[in-house]
Chains A and B, each alone.
Chain A
Amino acid sequence: MHPEKNNSSAFEPKIIAFVCTWCTYAGADLAGTSRMQYPSNVRVLKFPCTGRIDPVFILKAFQQGADGVLVSGCHPGDCHYIAGNFHARRRFAAFRKLLEFVGVDLQRLQFSWVSAAEGGKWVDVVTDLTETVRALGPMTEFKELALEEQWSGALTTPELKEAYLQI
C-alpha cells in the first residue's frame, strides 16, 4: 500500500482525483479488488457525477498544494444522470482554455473516462499522470501566490519607514 519511505527527499507528486461514484470510483475499486498496483500518490475524491465537479474545485486543489489533478467519470452515454458528463465535457473544454490562457501547464490537468469495468485503464491513467507530473516537478505557481499573501514585514518604502517611526 505505502511507497517505501526512503530518506532522500525525492519529489513525490500529490495527485488529486475527482471521480464520479458510478463509474470511475467503481473502476478504481475494481483495480483495488483485482490487486492491481498503481501509484499511491493519488488522492481520490468521490462525487455523484462529473457534472457536480465545479472548476473551482480544481483551482482549490492547486491552491492547497496539488501537483496534478485528474477528473474522471463515465463514458459519454453511460451517465447515471443521463447527461451530466456531457455538460462536464463542455465545461472542462472551456475551463482548460481559460487555465491555459492564464498560464497553467495543462499537462498537470488530466480528464478521462473510466468505466466501472476498466480497472486497468484507471491504473494506466493514474500511472501516466503521476509520471508526467513527477517529470514536471512540483506545481509552484499557486503555492507561491499563497506565500506572497503574507507581508514580509520589510519596510521597503520611505512612507512605511516614516509611519513606523511615528508609532
Chain B
Amino acid sequence: MNNTIDISHYAAIADSIRAEAARILEQGVVTAVVAYTTGRRAGSVQPVIITAAAEAERLTFTAASVNNLAVYLTKAKKDIPRSGRIGIVVKGCDLKALVGLMGESQLQRDQLYLIGIPCAGVLASTVRPAEALIAATLAPKCRECDAHLPEGCDYVPAVSLPSAPTLEPSYAAEIARLEALTPAERWAYWKEQFAKCIKCYACRQVCPFCFCEQCLCDRNKPQMVDTTPRPAGNTAWHIVRAMHLAGRCAGCAECERVCPMDIPLNLLNRKMAKELKELFDYEAGFAVHEKGPLNSFMEKDDQSFIK
C-alpha cells in the first residue's frame, strides 16, 4: 500500500499564488493578502499579511501550511487593515470556516478575494515541518476530507489534483469506539483528557468562530465557568466550547492542532457535527446559510426526548 501523499503540485500552486497576489495588489483589487510565507526553521511555514506587490515573492504553499487563515479576518483579531478588499489563501476546510463567518454576518463576500487551493492534505503538526507527507504524518482531518477542491473562489491555481489514497477516517472510528463504551467509561475517558487542560485558551484564540468580544468563560458576574485550570472548570469549559461551536464548526481542527496538552478537541466537534447532521440534516459546506441549525427551527423537529 502506498502511504505517500502526492503533493508534487504544491510547488506550482506556490508559483500561482505569488503571481496572483502580485497581480491583485498591483492592480489595486485588494489592499492586503493573507497568505503563507517561509518560516525561520527549515521547511516551516507561517502566516503573513502582505500589502505590496513586491512582497508577493515571499509567499509559499507547502504541506506545512496548516494554519486556517480565516482567523485573521474575524472581529476579535483585528490584525489586518479593515479598509478594503482583502485577498486570502484558503484550503477547502478554511473556506468552510469563511463561509460560516459570512453566514453569521462577520464577513462580506464582496470584501474578500478568495485564492482557493486544490489541497491534497497538510501535516498534522508543525513540530517537524520538513517531514514528508505520508499517511502517518497527515493531519487526521485530511484523512476524511471531502473538500479537496474549494468551490466559489475568485482564483484557483490551474493545477490538477493528484488522486489521493483512500484512508480510514480516524475521527469516525474514535467516536464509534467511545459511543460503544458505558457512560461511566466515557466519563472516565473525558475526565482524564480534560484534567490535562492548562486553560491556555489556545483553542479559543485560534478558532475562527470564537470571535465574541467578551467570552462567557471570562466573565465573572456571574461566573458560569470556573477560570482556574482545575478539573471542574476544565470540564465545564470544554463542554461549553463544544456547545458554542455546535452547528458552526467547519472542521478545520486548528483547536486540536494548537492544544499543547494534546486534548482531542476536534473529537467533540466532530461528534456534534455528526449529531446535528442526524438531527437537523445540517452540514458545514460551501454554501452560505443565513441561519445555522441552532438558530433556526422547524415545527416538526424531533421532540421524542421531551415529556
Bound Cα distance A110, B230 (Å): 28
Contact with B183, one of A54, A100, A111, A148 (Cβ below 8 angstroms):
A100
Size class of the B contact interface (CB-based, 8 Å):
35 or more
Task: Please name 5 pairs of A and B residues whose Cβ atoms are closer than 8 Å in the assembled complex, sorted by A.
Answer: A59-B224, A60-B224, A63-B236, A93-B303, A149-B228
Q: What bracket does the count of chain A residues touching chain B fall in? A: 35 or more
A98 to B240, CA, bound (A): 10
Beyond A111-B305, A112-B306, is A93–B299 a contact (Cβ under 8 Å)? no
Confirm or deny: B247 has a beta carbon within 8 angstroms of a beta carbon on chain A.
yes
Contact of B240 among A59, A77, A92 (CB under 8 A): A59
Interface centre among A87, A89, A112 (most CB of B within 10 A): A89
CB of A78 closer than 8 Å to a CB of B: no
Are A96 and B305 touching (Cβ within 8 A)?
A: yes
Q: Do residues A101 and B179 form an inter-chain contact, with CB atoms below 8 A?
A: yes
- Shortest distance from the beta carbon of A149 to any chain B beta carbon, whole Å: 3
Within 8 A of A (CB), among B173-192: 178-179, 183-191
Query: Which of A5-13, A15-23, A34-42, A138-146 is near enough to bind chain B?
Result: A138-146
Complex CA gap A95/B295 in Å reads 14
Is B185 in contact with A56, judged by CB distance below 8 angstroms? Answer: no
What distance in Å separates the Cβ of A77 from its nearest Cβ neighbour in chain B?
8
Provide the residues of chain A in CB contact with B233, threshold 8 Å: 149
| Number of A-B contacts defined by CB within 8 Å | 124
Binds A, one of B40-48, B74-82, B87-95, B269-277: B269-277
Cβ-closest 3 pairs across A and B = A103-B187, A149-B230, A103-B186
Chain B residues in contact with chain A, CB under 8 A?
178-179, 183-191, 195, 216, 224-226, 228, 230-233, 235-236, 239-240, 242-243, 246-247, 268, 271-272, 275-276, 279-280, 293-299, 301-303, 305-307
Contact with B along A32-68 (1 / 0, CB 8 A): 0000000000000000000000111101100100000
A123 within 8 A of partner (CB): no
Interface majority SS (helix, strand, loop, mixed), chain A = helix
On chain A, the residues within 8 Å of B268 by CB distance are 98, 101
Interface: A113 (CB within 8 A) = yes
Contact B243 A94 (CB under 8 A): yes
Chain B contacts for A141, CB-based, 8 A: 187
Interface residue A99 (Cβ < 8 Å from any Cβ of B): yes
CB distance from B210 to the nearest CB of A (A): 15
Beyond A86-B297, A149-B231, is A105–B236 a contact (Cβ under 8 Å)? no
CB distance from A62 to the nearest CB of B (A): 9
Q: Are B216 and A103 in contact (CB under 8 A)?
A: no
Q: Is the CB of A87 within 8 A of B297?
A: yes
Q: Which residues of B contact A100 (CB under 8 A)?
A: 183
Residues of B within 8 A of A98 (CB): 239, 242-243, 246, 268, 271-272, 275
A96 CA / B305 CA spacing, docked (Å)? 9
Q: Which of B189, B231, B293 contacts A148 (CB 8 A)?
A: B231
B276: A residues at CB distance < 8 A: 94
A120 to chain B: closest CB distance in Å? 13
Task: Assess whether A89 is in contact with B279, with CB atoms less than 8 Å apart.
Answer: no
> What would 19 more interface pairs be, CB under 8 Å, given A90-B279, A111-B307, A146-B231?
A56-B216, A59-B236, A60-B236, A63-B236, A87-B294, A87-B295, A92-B305, A98-B239, A98-B268, A98-B271, A101-B268, A102-B187, A103-B191, A141-B187, A142-B232, A145-B231, A145-B232, A146-B232, A148-B230
The answer to whether B271 touches A149, judged by C-beta atoms less than 8 angstroms apart, is no
Is A83 part of the contact surface with B, judged by Cβ < 8 Å? yes
- Give B274's nearest chain A residue, CB to CB: A97
Q: How far is the CA of A23 from the CA of B246 in the complex (A)?
A: 28
**8 Å CB contact of A112 from B216, B296, B301, B307:** B307
List the B side residues contacting A112 at CB < 8 Å: 306-307
Chain A: minimal CB distance from B173 (Å): 15
Instruction: Across the interface, name the chain B residue whose C-beta is closest to A87.
Output: B297
